Structure 1
Amino acid sequence: MTVAPATVPRFARGMRLREDAARNRWVVVGPERLFVPDEIALEILRLIDGARSVDAIVDDLAARYDAPREAIAADVLALLSDLHGKGVVTP
């Protein structure tokens, strides 16, 4: 299964986004894994709630940053596809 605009992404079982006080950063943690997202990825990951579709995430970010929707959609789909391949998110 691939990540598409209508996909409702959620964190895979055991994966979660949390603030790491020791690193003073937000991290995605899971069994024997840790990812430190950059600022852009973090904004996308914060919107993953298991109810919001990729399209809704893109709309939120486009409105918030007054940026071209097509560019944001490409970035969101690329990030979520990559994280899906790594087992971080599930569609």
Structure 2
Amino acid sequence: MSTPETISANAVPGIARGHRLQFEPAQACHVLLYPEGMITLNDSAAEILQRCDGQRSVQAICDDLSAAFDGADVTTDVHEFLALAASHGWIVFDRV
């Protein structure tokens, strides 16, 4: 599936095949592992990617994060990160 230029609120992101999100105790942070290496994630990126389960829509991810962070408006940040993650092949979208 291709990366959408504009991510729809109905799009359903999931971690791309060959990638695995996990907490790395030695580094005390989440990382994204893939065959060529590893990406160390900041807390915000980890919070978003943990919700990219192939079941929740982008809107549901935004709503969940907003609720988890006292109603903060996270929509722009989530969309920007998902676009970046998709451009690097870290996530794929089920629906657009």
The DSSP-based 3-state class of the residue aligned with 2:78 is helix
* Unaligned runs of at least 5 residues, structure 2: none
Cα deviation code 1:18-38 (max 9, x no counterpart) = 112332221011111311111
What is the CA-CA distance between 1:86 and the residue it aligns to? 0.3
Note if contact 1:14-1:31 (Cα within 8 Å) is conserved in structure 2: yes
The 5 A counterparts of 1:1-91 are: 1-2=3-4, 3-69=7-73, 72-91=74-93
Cα deviation code 1:6-50 (max 9, x no counterpart) = 110001110110112332221011111311111111111111111
From the two aligned structures, give the one with the greater helix fraction: 1
TM-score, normalising length from structure 2? Answer: 0.84
Identity of aligned residues (%): 35
How many equivalent pairs are there? 89
Cα deviation code 1:38-84 (max 9, x no counterpart) = 11111111111110000000001111212343xx1110010010010
- CA-based RMSD: 1.3
* Unaligned runs of at least 5 residues, structure 1: none
TM-score, normalising length from structure 1? Answer: 0.88
